[in-house]
Amino acid sequence: MTKRALITGVTGQDGMYLARLLLSKGYTVFGLVRGQNNPKIQALHDWAPEVRVITGDLQDQSSLLRALGQAQPDEVYNLGAISFVAYSWENAHLTSQVTGMGVLNLLEAIRLHAGTDIGKVRFYQASSSEMFGRVQEVPQRETTLLWPRSPYGVAKAFGHHMTINYRESYGMHASSGILFNHESPLRGPEFVTRKISSAVARIALGLQDQLVLGNLDAQRDWGFAGDYVDAMWRMVQQDTADDYVVSTNETHSVREYLEIAFEHVGITDWQRHVTQDARFLRPAEVDLLMGDATKARTTLGWEPTVGFADLVRMMVTADLSEHGLVGAR
């Protein structure tokens, strides 16, 4: 029997990679898309034409119930969120509604949809290393105390605990992946990796001279999005639902990312192209993230396949060749 999956956030970076992964495994894939004329539908269609689009919004529970009725999914992947941390301070209430309450809306819709057969729909929640915030240990693992530092992190912590609560209260097969930063040529241009790869490509092509950034000393555990959606799928296939850290177990600074990106286009004196501006600093920074994915490696048999330097080069190469156009990604 062909499995059926519903992905929220299907127009985002991870949604696009996950849709392709599930299609390659023979799934029938439904994607929840918000808005009445969302321009990203075309990019999704170009990327994965077989995805069946259903309109709906994480803030609108009746739309979620309708989507579940239409898709009749065996698996639901909740990737929809307001995901840009900097934006979450300026729009804290909205972020809480979508990224936090949206999880509850969807869990409750699944519970109502499934009725007495709660096991018929498996659920994946896109939790985040941002929940560790002011980290209480290094590296961070599933048991590390959460100390979120942004409205986004707080909202994700709510969704994370609500997912665990639905598992424990109702026996729902609900898993939470605590994913550390993962990137790709599909990454939104507002995130630092893509902001840099895009600017470096433009500087190399003589289209731009300066790149303005915030904190260059922040350290992140950066992996490749294509690897991370595979971990999501593996979690959902387990007999028992659980929570897993997904990371590379390495940490690198924004400065290191810059060095490799510029080096890739033959620029060694990159400092003359980079300036810092306080407008890109955050009210509360997450200084250092580094995950311990031992549980995912041992239980799920999951391994990252793309290292940090190769990831940086992949993103710069993609921006060089296609200049932000979807076709060459």
Known catalytic residues are: 128, 130, 152
Counting contacts by CB under 6 A, is residue 201 touching ligand NAP? no
Structure tokens given for 280: 């890109």
Q: What angle do CA 133, 136, 141 make, to 5 degrees?
A: 85
List residues near ligand F7E by CB under 6 A.
Answer: 83, 85-86, 128-130, 180-181, 190-193, 195, 213-215, 218, 220, 254, 280, 282, 285-286
Q: Which helix (H) or strand (E) holds 17?
A: helix 13-24
- CA atoms of 234 and 259, how far apart (whole Å): 34
Q: What six digits make up the tokens of 321?
A: 């060749």
Per-residue contact string for residues 12-51; x = within reach of ligand NAP by CB under 6 A:
xxxx----------------x-xx--x-x-----------
Q: Which two tokens stand for residue 309?
A: 């330097």
Please state, in angstroms and rounded to a whole number, the distance separating the CA atoms of residues 61 and 56: 9
Do residues 294 and 283 lie in contact, with contact meaning Cβ atoms separated by under 8 Å?
Answer: no
Which one of the spans 142-150, 176-184, 211-219, 297-305 is the region binding ligand NAP (CB under 6 A)? 176-184
How many chain residues are in contact with ligand NAP, going by CB under 6 A?
Answer: 27
Instruction: Name which of 38 and 215 has its Cβ closer to ligand NAP.
Output: 38
Would you call 87 exposed, middle or buried from its count of C-beta atoms within 10 A (0-12, 13-18, 19+)?
A: middle
Only one of the segments 6-14, 106-114, 269-277, 321-329 lies at the binding site for ligand NAP (rule: CB under 6 A); that segment is: 6-14
Those residues with Cβ within 8 angstroms of residue 234's Cβ, 6 or more apart along the chain or in another chain: 296, 300, 301, 302
Q: Report the alpha-carbon distance of residue 65 to residue 258 in Å, rounded.
A: 45
Q: Which is nearer to ligand NAP, 126 or 135 (CB)?
A: 126
The partner in contact with residue 161, picked from ligand NAP, ligand F7E, none with C-beta cut-offs of 5 to 8 angstroms by kind, is none
Q: Interface with ligand NAP includes 175 (CB under 6 A)?
A: no
Residues that bind ligand NAP (CB under 6 A): 8-9, 11-15, 32, 34-35, 38, 40, 57-59, 79-83, 98, 126, 128, 179, 181-182, 188
